[in-house]
Structure 1
Amino acid sequence: MNETVNQPTYKRQRFLLSFVHQINGSVSVTDLQKLVFLHMMSEDSNYYEFIPCKYGPYSFQLKEDLDILQRGGFVTLDYVQGSERIKATGDFPTGYFFRIPTERGKALMRRAYREYPYYSINSEITDRFFQGEELEQFNRGKQTYAQTEQVLFTIGYEGKSIEAFINTLIQNNVRLLCDVRKNPISRKFGFSKGKLKHIAQTVGIRYVHIPDLGIDSDKRRSLATLDDYKHLFEDYEKTLPSKKRFLDEILMLLQQNTRIALMCFELESNMCHRHVIRDYLVRTNQVRSVDI
């Protein structure tokens, strides 16, 4: 380990390194995801959040932090019999004690699925672990989120982790995410265009970016009061007739995908230009809309 580096930068990374240190020997990346997941859920901890992926609960932030720890020399990543295995290196004063489950592999997967079935709804391997009535219960659970009513949602990611954001989409059965930011770049992990598209696709959500419906950043720099926002949105609304082909594109996407979400940064839709787009479409096309 580089002697100038004593510990990871962020508290959650120090937690993760402590956790890996307390696992005897190496652990597969898949098992580590499940072990941290069970710890987060049982201890009501919030270092990491998870989404239901094809192998059950998964945290993209955790994977990112593992990559950072590996680059910093805190952990090693080896390939053993087709599996990625993580092992902590050197000494690290943990300051924590974790009750880490003893199960690994299939037994660990079964435990995670049974205790938290929501995180199995996108799993492609449930039938490897369960049979009969128990398997049918998992299949019925997947249908809980299969809503079919046509809805135009709006959503902002301010104050949300990428996992919390994606979970909201999943729980509302959003099938397409329509990004209406002018510049889809974010310092917040997971919300820049390429990464967001990749993460959404892992749970079967399409991603489309329509930059022509965004607002130039220079028009937002001087916003300080509610009146400033009001004038900005009034001016933006006047431009909508010139953006008709992009608004028609949203309508087409809604018709094709049934449940789509307009996304931007601000948590409250009335503080974001997406509500102007939404109001226009509701008014001109009798679209049903919900803010999530």
Structure 2
Amino acid sequence: MSRAIDVYTIGFTKKSAEKFFKFIRSSNISTLLDVRLNNVSQLAGFAKRDDLRFFLRELCEVEYIHLPELAPTKEILNPYKKGEMSWEVYQDKFLNLMAKRRIEKDIKSILLQGGCLLCSENEPHFCHRRLVVEYLNDSSELNLKVKHLY
């Protein structure tokens, strides 16, 4: 088994900017990996792409990278958000999408070490960021030690 890689996940909803950036700063995160499909929504507040990149750099000395290949497609996400698809079906479709994309071949351990996957959901239980790290643990040689920040 390879050496464990510390990786974090966080959602921005139900968090003040103060709480969000304190989590990032206190967790020794080096790179925020944005796994949202839409990272420029007006609803994102302080977590809009350009604002977030600025705040991370200035407040936390953290790099920002958008990884839309780790996000579900609109065809998967929208029916789930509208309540037209159960979590179980959403999860199955997203896991199949990651397998089809072969994300485990493209994601390098150096990117994940000290990285933090960002999505909008407050908690990881029903969020694709949790599915991403679980999929990578199951489908690659990566040994991810995951800590969800919420």
Tell me if both proteins adopt one fold, taking TM over 0.5 as the criterion. yes
Report the residue type matching 1:195 in the other structure. Answer: D
1:234 maps to which of 92, 98, 106: 92
User: Structure 1 residues 218, 280: CA separation in 2 closer, same or farther (over 3 Å shift)?
Assistant: closer
Question: Rg bigger for which structure?
Answer: 1
Cα RMSD between the aligned structures?
2.1
1:209 maps to which of 66, 72, 75: 66
Deviations for 1:35-84, whole angstroms, at most 9, x for unmatched residues? xxxxxxxxxxxxxxxxxxxxxxxxxxxxxxxxxxxxxxxxxxxxxxxxxx
Aligned-pair CA distance for 1:275: 1.1
Report the residue type matching 1:192 in the other structure. Answer: K
> Is the aligned partner of 1:181 residue 2:36?
yes
Alpha-carbon separation, structure 2, partners of 1:154 and 1:166:
13
User: Structure 1 residues 190, 197: CA separation in 2 closer, same or farther (over 3 Å shift)?
Assistant: same
**Structure 2: unaligned runs, 5 residues or longer:** none
Report what 1:164 is aligned to: 19
Alpha-carbon separation, structure 1, partners of 2:75 and 2:97:
17
> Is the aligned partner of 1:155 residue 2:13?
no
Matched ranges for 1:218-229 at <5 A: 218-223=75-80, 224=83, 228-229=86-87
**In the alignment, is the contact (CA less than 8 A) between 1:282 and 1:289 conserved in 2?**
no
Alpha-carbon separation, structure 2, partners of 1:154 and 1:199:
18
> Is the aligned partner of 1:265 residue 2:120?
yes
Higher relative contact order (CA 8 A, sep 6+): 2
Aligned-pair CA distance for 1:222: 3.1
**In the alignment, is the contact (CA less than 8 A) between 1:210 and 1:246 conserved in 2?**
no
Report what 2:50 is aligned to: 194
Alpha-carbon separation, structure 2, partners of 1:240 and 1:192:
25
Aligned-pair CA distance for 1:160: 1.0
**In the alignment, is the contact (CA less than 8 A) between 1:212 and 1:246 conserved in 2?**
no
Alpha-carbon separation, structure 2, partners of 1:163 and 1:243:
35
Q: Alignment length, in residue pairs?
A: 140
Alpha-carbon separation, structure 1, partners of 2:130 and 2:105:
13
2:99 aligns to what SS in structure 1?
Answer: helix
Aligned-pair CA distance for 1:215: 1.7
Alpha-carbon separation, structure 2, partners of 1:183 and 1:213:
12
2:130 aligns to what SS in structure 1?
Answer: helix
- TM-score, length-scaled by structure 1: 0.44
**In the alignment, is the contact (CA less than 8 A) between 2:13 and 2:121 conserved in 1?**
yes
